[in-house]
Amino acid sequence: MQIPSNIFREYDIRGIADTELTDEVIEGLGRAVGTVLRREKKQKISLGHDFRPSHKRLVQALLKGISSTGIDVIQLGLIPTPLLYFSVSYLNLDAGICITGSHNPPEYNGVKIHFKDRPFFGTEIQGLYQLMKAGDFEKGNGKLETAEIIKPYREYVRKIFNFKKKIKVVVDSGHGMGGIVAPDLFRDLGHEVIELYSNLDSTFPDHHPDPSEPKNLRDLQEKVLETKAQLGIAFDGDADRIGVVDEKGNIIAGDQLLLIYARAILKKKPGAVIIGDVKCSKLIYDDITKHGGKALMWKTGHSLIKAKMKETHAELAGEMSGHMFFQDRWFGFDDAIYAGCRMLEIVDDTSDSVSSFLSDLPKTFSTPEIRVDCPDDQKFDLVKRAVLEFKKKYNVIDIDGARVEFPDGWGLVRASNTQPVLVMRFEATTEKRLEEIRKIVEDQILQLSK
């Protein structure tokens, strides 16, 4: 079997559906996952999928592989990734697998794996590759059954919330999976929902389903202003990342969104541990501390964050990219639909407008995430050398790349775990200083890359 090693990423398996995710490869992957489960004395998993053209073929191949090891599979059908995670807890299963291309271009697809007792990533994903190469699989005859999870999810979430007001909200699902759950759920909760792109379309004709890119939120911004809505909520392709726009059409950055959630939780749970990733503003960590929380900076990556939450018993975590993880009144996994409900709850609890939520934060100047192409086989080495160079002159936080700290700002360069790019972000107290810090970091990277 020809197994492309590049499809085994840090957090999932991902590749071009027709050429890399062949039936043979995906069946082998199913055998490897089933083998890991059997050897851990686990027996039952759920399987869901998104709407990409390749999903039927991949579901069949994965089912064939998993059941051949003696593992029982509950098929959930077409669902957003967070509902797959939910099914593992709700149905008391050992693990779950979702076939999803998330926010990647239409020709891609992938597999996300979720174990009930721990995040499944990194060396464990590489372990699947090694098992497939060795052909060292368990044998058995697993049972197949089906279950409905969208209705139980909606009912479960509905019981958590009690709204006093009817909120007008625009929901942009970007033709992704959020559209089949979120608008109806928000209406269940009593709100007025204006929908954008709720119909599933794997060609993403209107904009790419990635709310971390400002250009993908333009339609949402315009619709919020046009309808005089109180806020707008956007989802990525598989609905595990959220984007939010206030009533004035301004984008609330991922780290600011984390802070809005953190302040609400800290009112009820003073001293709670709140985790942000290395791309978050220094203001966020300072403000969490000021409001009585224990702020913790950690590596970027949903699996890495989930593992850190488990270790530190954090109530909340968030990333700049829009992954939001609630342990408080939830299960600790990243669920943008649930995060949307929490945002609506915060709006319901105040007479203030969304644009005023963080009006007391000091003013700083920052860039969004900047992505610079860099080959997969060079990016980690380049960042490692950058850390050493920056440490000669500056204070550097090196938990994930180089976050170079200055008295009046910071600059970050890290290697993406999911794409052949370097990710950079900068923040400073003035625009002039922002440009200076950016030049210091970018010049060093340019020099090293030569």
CA distance 393 to 395: 7
**Residues whose CB falls within 8 Å of the CB of residue 286, separated by 6 or more in sequence, listed in order:** 295
Do 185 and 337 form a contact (C-beta atoms < 8 A)? Answer: yes
Strands 168-172 and 192-196, how do they pair? Answer: parallel
Two structure tokens written together for 112: 């996300």
Q: Which of 431, 433, 209, 447 is nearest to 413 (CA)?
A: 447
Catalytic residues: 102
Q: Which of 285, 282, 289, 256 is nearest to 412 (CA)?
A: 282
Inter-CA distances, 285 with 255, 259, 262, 274, Å: 10, 9, 10, 9
**Residues whose CB falls within 8 Å of the CB of residue 268, separated by 6 or more in sequence, listed in order:** none
Q: How many CA atoms lie within 13 A of 327 on its CB side?
A: 18
Q: Which of 209, 205, 243 is nearest to 224 (CA)?
A: 243
3-class DSSP assignment, residue 326: strand
- Return the exposure string of 420-450: e unless at least 16 CB atoms fall within 10 Å of the residue's CB, then b: ebbbbbbbbeeeebbebbbebbbebbeebee
Identity of the residue numbered 239: A
CA distance 174 to 217: 9
**Residues whose CB falls within 8 Å of the CB of residue 135, separated by 6 or more in sequence, listed in order:** none
Q: How many CA atoms lie within 13 A of 117 on its CB side?
A: 5
